[in-house]
Amino acid sequence: MSEKDVVERAREWMDQDPSASDRDELAALIAEDKRDELEERMGAELEFGTAGLRGIVGGGRSRMNLANVIRTTRGLADYLLARVPDAKTLPVVLGRDGRLSSDDFMRATRQVLEGASIPVRYFVEPVPTPIVAYAARQLSASAAVCITASHNPPEYNGYKVYASNAAQIVPPVDGEIAGRIARVESAAKVKLGGAGELSEAIPASLVDRYFAELDALRPKLHVDRDFAIVYTPMHGVGGKFVMRGLEQTGFRRVHAVAEQFEPDGHFPTVKFPNPEEQGALDLSLALAKECDAELILANDPDADRLAVCVKTFTGRWLQLTGNQIGVLLADFMLAAAPATPRRMVISSIVSSPMLAALAKHYDAHWDQTLTGFKWIWNAAMDLEAKGGVNYVFGFEEAIGYSAGHLVRDKDGISAAVLFAEMAAALKAGGKSVLEHLHELYRAHGLWVSTQKSVTLPGADGAEAIASAMERLRASSPERVGGAEVLGMTDYEQGAADRPRWLPSANLVAIELDSGRILVRPSGTEPKLKIYVDLCQQLDSEQSITGAEDDLAARAASVAEDMAKLLELT
Give which of 134, 144, 80 is closest to 106, Cα–Cα: 144
**Would you call 49 helix, strand, or coil by DSSP?**
strand
Q: Which of 555, 559, 516 is nearest to 356 (CA)?
A: 516
Q: Which amino acid is at 74?
A: R
Question: How far apart are alpha carbons 162 and 83 in whole angstroms?
Answer: 14
3 state DSSP class of 346: strand
Question: Which amino acid, one-letter code, is at 130?
Answer: P
Single out the residue of 436, 404, 535 nearest to residue 137, CA to CA. 404
Mark out the alpha helices in 34-169 (DSSP H runs): 35-41, 66-83, 102-115, 129-138
Alpha-carbon separation of residue 221 from 19, 32, 328, 336 (angstroms): 54, 66, 17, 10
Coil/strand/helix, residue 233: coil
Q: Which of 62, 150, 199, 347 is catalytic?
A: 150
Catalytic residue status for 476: no
Judge contact between 95 and 241, C-beta under 8 A. no
Q: List Cβ neighbours of 288 (8 Å cut-off, separation of 6 or more).
A: 228, 230, 296, 309, 317
Distance CA 81, CA 199 (A): 17
* Residues listed for the chain: 569
Q: Secondary structure of 14-28 in the HEC alphabet?
A: HHHCCCHHHHHHHHH
- The set of long-range contacts for 204-208, using a CB threshold of 8 Å and a minimum separation of 24, is 206/134, 206/135, 206/138, 206/139, 207/127, 207/131, 207/241
- Looking at the annotation, which residues are catalytic? 150
